[in-house]
Amino acid sequence: MSNTQNSFPQTLVTTTPEEGFNLAIKLARLAVRATQPDKNKLMALRPEYAENADSLIAASHVVAIHFQTIAQANCHWKY
């Protein structure tokens, strides 16, 4: 990933719900990188969780929580 993609967002405000969802995914990825900064270890673990339904559901849950926060910051895009 480029440095821009790794940098922390300056705002939770987005133009569309799709942008908000993409931001939620970015925040989840940033959290994973913060908890496991060793890229080699992270990649070594990927096959294990990529095939595990519980791990994938847990990852989706994290994204959903971030998306909920972003939606609230954007007044659910009602403006």
- Ordered by start, the domain boundaries in the chain are 38-79
Cβ neighbourhood burial of 70 (10 Å; 0-12, 13-18, 19+)? buried
**Predicted confidence band at 3 (pLDDT cuts at 50, 70, 90)?**
very low
Is the predicted pLDDT of residue 57 greater than 80, yes or no? yes
Higher pLDDT, 5 or 53: 53
pTM, rounded to two decimals: 0.85
pLDDT of 4 over the 60 cut: no
